[in-house]
């Protein structure tokens, strides 16, 4: 009996250790990014997680000054650059040069990264990403819930064949539909202007870009408000809800939309939260589609701004990491807000499986 307990305890310890290693491998990149965002620029290439600055000092002409070693001369002397304000010069000294290290946390990297763009506001790109991600998430949750309820509960000719065809679109790569979608968006303003006899749809929008078509908020949001995966996931969840509850709601006078609103959706919070979290994270971090459909700086999203940041500042990784950490906060907040329903959905799926 004791041998069995020892074996069980050993297995639990091994499983715990393996899970701890997996968790550590997941957390380390975020800790590294946070550490990099707080480092001085000259410290980003040095190993270690603690931000620190290294100062070299030597005695030059009887004064203890800050220097930077350039090279060692053949006779053993050191050629250094005196790095004191107002007294910068290059001299040769016999040495020695002292290295002083200290912890140097640069919180000012964050406001510097926020205001680093003279041509595009970091705050504007942040708001653009937030608005686009929230509207895409809302659109996918609403359209997926309506379609999933129709496929799960309503009866109409060709329902199953239509669902299979809709599900089959998941197998089509996004690169295949990207060009036709772009062409449709590009011709949409001209089509609407010709149909309604106006030029209003081709004009520049007050908030940036145009009202519809390419280079507009419409192009960033509307094509991504529909999801075959979200419809499939919610349909499978709706099928597990007892029909008796819906029948009772019908007896109380609810129609199809009333049943969906008052019975199905309140019981599907775990599935809705899971779909919402996944959709928000995908929409917030999407880079390729905004890169294709936006030209105006005023409507660019945060991933595009971070890419421009890297091209503008080159090796200033501390500012890039600071901007990335600020971009990570909304995803973390959305996950924490929906964490309870998300975990509940995983538990229910495990029990049903």
Is residue 30 very low, low, confident or very high in pLDDT (cuts 50, 70, 90)?
A: confident
Domain locations along the chain: 2-37, 52-103, 112-352
Strands (E), 172-314: none
Buried b (16+ CB within 10 A) or exposed e, 9-19: eeeeeeeeeee
Write out the two tokens for 317: 């990784």
- Under CATH, which number does the domain 52-103 receive? 2.40.50
Any idea which fold 112-352 has?
MetI-like fold (1.10.3720)
What pTM did the predictor assign?
0.80
pLDDT at 290: 92
DSSP-based three-state secondary structure for 253: coil
| pLDDT, averaged across the chain | 84
Tokens 């009996």 sit on residue: 1
205: DSSP letter? P
Q: What pLDDT digit, counting tens, does each position of 75-124 carry?
A: 888 888 887 777 788 888 887 888 877 888 888 888 888 887 665 678 88
Q: In the predicted model, is pLDDT for residue 353 greater than 60?
A: no
Do residues 233 and 274 make contact, with C-beta atoms less than 8 angstroms apart? yes
Alpha-carbon separation of residue 7 from 2, 14, 19, 20 (angstroms): 9, 11, 18, 20
Q: Using omega within 30 degrees of 0 as the cis cutoff, is the peptide bond preceding 96 cis?
A: yes
Give the contacts of 256 (CB within 8 A, at least 6 positions apart): 149, 153, 154
When pLDDT is averaged across residues 31-37 and rounded to a whole number, the result is 88
DSSP-based three-state secondary structure for 347: helix
Q: In the predicted model, is pLDDT for residue 125 greater than 80?
A: yes
């Amino acid at each position: 009996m004791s041998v069995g307990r020892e074996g069980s305890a050993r297995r639990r310890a091994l499983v715990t250790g393996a899970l701890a290693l997996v968790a550590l491998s997941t957390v380390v990149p975020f800790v590294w990014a946070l550490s990099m965002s707080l480092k001085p620029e000259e410290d980003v290439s040095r190993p270690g997680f603690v931000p620190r600055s290294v100062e070299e000092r030597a005695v030059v002409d009887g004064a203890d000054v800050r220097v930077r070693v350039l090279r060692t001369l053949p006779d053993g002397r050191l050629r250094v650059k005196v790095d004191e304000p107002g007294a910068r010069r290059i001299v040769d000294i016999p040495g020695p040069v002292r290295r002083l290290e200290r912890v140097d946390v640069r919180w000012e990297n964050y406001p510097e990264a926020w205001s680093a763009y003279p041509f595009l506001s970091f705050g504007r790109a942040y708001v653009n990403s937030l608005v686009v991600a929230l509207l895409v998430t809302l659109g996918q949750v609403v359209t997926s819930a309506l379609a999933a309820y129709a496929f799960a509960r309503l009866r109409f000719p060709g329902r199953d064949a239509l669902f299979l065809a809709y599900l089959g679109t998941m197998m089509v790569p996004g690169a295949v539909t990207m060009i036709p979608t772009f062409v449709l968006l590009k011709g949409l303003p001209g089509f609407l202007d010709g149909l309604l006899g106006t030029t209003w749809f081709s004009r520049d929008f007050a908030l940036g870009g145009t009202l519809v078509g390419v280079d507009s908020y419409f192009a960033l949001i509307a094509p991504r408000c529909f999801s075959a995966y979200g419809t499939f996931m919610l349909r499978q969840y709706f099928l597990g809800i007892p029909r008796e509850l819906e029948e009772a709601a019908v007896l109380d006078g609810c129609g199809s939309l009333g049943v969906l609103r008052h019975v199905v959706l309140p019981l599907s919070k775990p599935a809705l939260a899971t779909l919402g979290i996944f959709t928000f994270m995908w929409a917030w971090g999407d880079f390729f589609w905004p890169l294709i459909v936006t030209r105006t700086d005023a409507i660019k999203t945060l991933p595009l701004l971070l890419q421009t940041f890297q091209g503008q500042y080159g090796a200033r990784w501390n500012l890039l990491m600071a901007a990335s950490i600020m971009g990570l906060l909304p995803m973390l907040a959305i996950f924490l807000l929906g964490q309870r329903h998300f975990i509940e959905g995983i538990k229910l799926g495990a029990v049903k499986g």
